[in-house]
Amino acid sequence: MASTSPLIHLSPARSTFSRRREVLSYLPGGIPTSYSPRRLQFSSPPLVATSASSASPSSRLQALIFDCDGVIIESEHLHRQAYNDAFAHFAVRCPPSSLKPLYWDSEFYDELQNQVGGGKPKMRWYFKENGWPSSSVYLEPPSMESDRERLIDVIQDWKTERYKEIIRSGTVKPRPGVLRLMDDAKGAGIKLAVCSAATKSSVVLCLENLLGLERFHGLDCFLAGDDVNEKKPSPLIYLTASEKLGLKGKNCLVVEDSAIGLQAATGAGMPCIITYTSSTINQDFKEAVATYPDLSSVRLEDLELSLQKTVAAN
């Protein structure tokens, strides 16, 4: 897009799902053990945001927390490719009478990934709605819950490895403005975190390849879907990050790309900006502090000011 001016109050997309979405309320559970990479000293000189000196302690930006898929990397089409490759590899047929393996087209996957967080929950939801499939894992659709879970595990594990192959190809680049904003925040003494609902091994590979080892190991907090027992839109992953960072939610600013992520962030008491993708542009982001097509023209000062305005308004 030519303009990068903030867009506020985008109209929500009309869901094509047959079943009405339920709005769930989540309560924070126990804080699970999580992975915390070692920190390295950045060699770049400190960059101090001009608005920071005038901000009160209650409105200071103390941590910037990024989602991964859709924020650091525009990955929806890559995940969809990996799922379809997995369905073909295991001859997943849903319904079982189908002559061809299951295939999720882009329109359906946009709808699915924006309403169901996490890989295994996506397949679990789909098979419960459309019937359990036949496959090379189970020639007949599994009827026992343990067999159903094993089928999902097998497909998800293969899909994750396929996704890693795509990332390793070197053809995938970070979204505009991400690296510059991370470096500016780090130079200004603001803590950095990544919180992703995806499998840890795939997120680690993604971050190592797209951020580089120095930035990745310099993160103050890194959490993946394996580290919490509730997926977004549950706020648990952001509540856990707040605990690890030792900060109040109001002093953390989350960068998300979807309504699910926005709900998770606000549920944890954290203000959130949206950097939408082509598949999330029409979602309802009215609870976001600001909405951008990407981060290419977003400066640290802009985020400081947005946070101050949010705290003042509340």
Q: Which sequence positions are flagged as catalytic?
A: 67, 69
- Give the whole-angstrom CA distance, residue 41 versus residue 35: 19
Number of H helices, E strands in the chain: 10, 6
- Give the whole-angstrom CA distance, residue 54 versus residue 138: 63
Secondary structure class of 12 (helix, strand, coil): coil
| Widest pairwise Cα distance in the chain | 66
Contacts of 78 (CB under 8 A, 6+ apart): 163, 166, 167, 172
Torsion-angle region of residue 177: left (phi > 0), alpha (psi -120 to 50) or beta? left
- Give the whole-angstrom CA distance, residue 276 versus residue 297: 14
- Give the whole-angstrom CA distance, residue 100 versus residue 128: 20
Tell me if 79 sits within 8 A of 155, measured CB to CB: no
- Give the whole-angstrom CA distance, residue 223 versus residue 146: 28
> What single string gives the DSSP state of each residue in 234-285?
SSHHHHHHHHHHT--GGGEEEEESSHHHHHHHHHTT--EEEE--TTTTTS--
- Give the whole-angstrom CA distance, residue 116 versus residue 1: 27
The alpha carbons of the chain give a radius of gyration, in whole angstroms, of 20
Q: What are phi and psi of 192, to 5 degrees?
A: -120, 140
